[in-house]
A and B are shown apart, each in its own frame.
Chain A
Amino acid sequence: MAITAGIKDATAIAGIGQTAFARQLPESERTLACRAILAALDDAGIAPAEVDALASFTMEETDEVEVAKALGLGDLTFFSKVGYGGGGSCATVAHLAAAIASGQATVGVAWRSRKRGSGPRPWKNTAVQLPTPAQWTRPFGLLRPADEIAMLTRRHMHEYGTTRDHLFNVALACRNRANQNPAAIMYDRPLTREMYMTSRWISEPLCLFDNCLETDGALACVVVSAERARDCRRTPVYIHSAAQGLPAQHHGMVNYWNDDPLTGPAWTAARHLWKHADFTPEDVQVAQIYDAFTALIPLSLEGYGFCGRGEGGAFTEGGALEIGGRLPMNTGGGGLSEAYVHGFNLITEGVRQLRGTSTAQVPGAGTCLVTAGEGVPTSALLLRN
């Protein structure tokens, strides 16, 4: 009997696809999903009828039945949805990798389609708030994800000397990469320190430029076995390691109630991710780190082991996140400056880096970390070529 080898390098991303990104797109989320998925299948050179697995977010409004019916997919033998908003992005790919590596399916598609730009802001809907987490926060005016993350940000500043300049370094790196990426919403909009420091507050200590964009758009990627990927038309991007993370005693959007609220789900995902990898954080040449808020980057840098606890702010100094720096980050512009589609554009940009086709290519990039939302139950991928 074969000893299970896990999922290491057993599967690869063979195709990626996306729609345009804009504040408002006229087509429906379902239409956008169909376009992105067909683009990804075309990129891989795989026919829709060969797809037998799907994975997406629980917040995704286009369900498997509708997608499969519209696109002429084959019989599906695996379909999965991952919860916790932006924490689920990498897990969609991880679920497909596990399904394909274990023989439950052969061609998987993960996708996210969202009209966040033209739709309502989720926090404005007071009717659908789950009572369990919200009763302890919302009556007091802690209403939005930005408020919840700002609470951790202020504490990180107090304990470790993280500054607004550190957060600006994050915003600037993303904006600089977006200025190189014609698909990015902020392609022709440079950011200066003056603009950042004088912008309006959203939730002190977070200002406008610490918050992600609000975008309409859809993206998809195709996962197949490593063997199959080598016969596809693009350079295979192998899924080297994957992890989800829901720490013990976690709670809601952010956890103010464990021993150490500044140690979030990233730490849990990271332990599993590195345990199953052949390389370490020092070997990662480029990273796509979930950036709904700039302040998530210091927390994630610490959680994934790029620096010590409390050093995430200082890590951003000296151009570390820029091309040529220690860890070039969010090279398509990320959620802050390319598009905010629940982090799915970070996955496709990771694939581009390892194909050598990014608009801000890191020379010779061979390894890439992609992360999902920190604070919520999360997930991450280590990709290699």
Chain B
Amino acid sequence: MLTPVVDDDGAPFWGYAAQGELRVQTCADCEEPRFPPRPCCPHCQSFASEWRQVSGRGRVWSYVVPHPPLLPEYAELAPYNVILVELADAPRIRLVGNLVTGPDAPLNSLSPDRIRIGARVQVVFSGDGLPQWMLERP
């Protein structure tokens, strides 16, 4: 499976995720959260930022179900789901992820017909530090 190819701006996100925390880069001056992370605030041009923990709750904004041709390790799991989650704390911040039946469950652990746009989800973390998502009401 592919692991994140991290850049300087994204490194803190993955560092916190490895500790089981979902944190979002936020401007230290105007307090606007931003994603994906970047060096400078697009609202006030401040270079000062901090990583604020969010509740980890969100809603499914959209989802897809990929089928082959795919990279071999993903093809073995197909069809699986990929969801886009809108964070409850910051609705314009949307994270790509997978809806699974529990921490460390594979990408295809939940049947695609269980997924609905608008469904409430909660973050969990896999052993290798990737955020995953579970239905709040399974």
Measured between beta carbons, the chain B residues less than 8 angstroms from A134 are 5
Question: Distance in Å from the Cβ of A150 to the closest Cβ of chain B?
Answer: 4
Most chain A C-beta atoms within 10 Å of own C-beta, residue among B5, B7, B74: B5
0 or 1 for each of B65-103: is its CB under 8 Å from A? (1 = yes) = 111011100100101101010000000111111100000
Measured between beta carbons, the chain B residues less than 8 angstroms from A137 are 96
Known interface pairs A126-B2, A155-B62. Does A141 touch B82 (Cβ–Cβ under 8 Å)?
Answer: yes
Q: Are B92 and A259 in contact (CB under 8 A)?
A: yes
User: B107 at the A/B interface (Cβ < 8 Å)?
Assistant: yes
User: Range of interface residues on chain A?
Assistant: 35 or more
0 or 1 for each of B1-34: is its CB under 8 Å from A? (1 = yes) = 1111111011000100000000000000000000
Q: Are B66 and A141 in contact (CB under 8 A)?
A: yes
Measured between beta carbons, the chain A residues less than 8 angstroms from B94 are 256-257, 261
A141 to B92, CA, bound (A): 22
A151 to B60, CA, bound (A): 11
Q: Are B63 and A154 in contact (CB under 8 A)?
A: yes
Q: Are A256 and B96 in contact (CB under 8 A)?
A: yes
Measured between beta carbons, the chain A residues less than 8 angstroms from B112 are 204
User: A80 at the A/B interface (Cβ < 8 Å)?
Assistant: no
Measured between beta carbons, the chain B residues less than 8 angstroms from A133 are 36
Q: Are B35 and A257 in contact (CB under 8 A)?
A: yes
A324 to B106, CA, bound (A): 50
Known interface pairs A129-B5, A203-B65, A256-B96. Does A141 touch B36 (Cβ–Cβ under 8 Å)?
Answer: no
A144 to B78, CA, bound (A): 14
Residue of A nearest to B107 (CB): A141
User: A103 at the A/B interface (Cβ < 8 Å)?
Assistant: no
Binding site for B on A (CB under 8 A): 121, 124, 126, 129, 131-144, 147, 150-152, 154-155, 158, 200-205, 249, 251, 256-259, 261
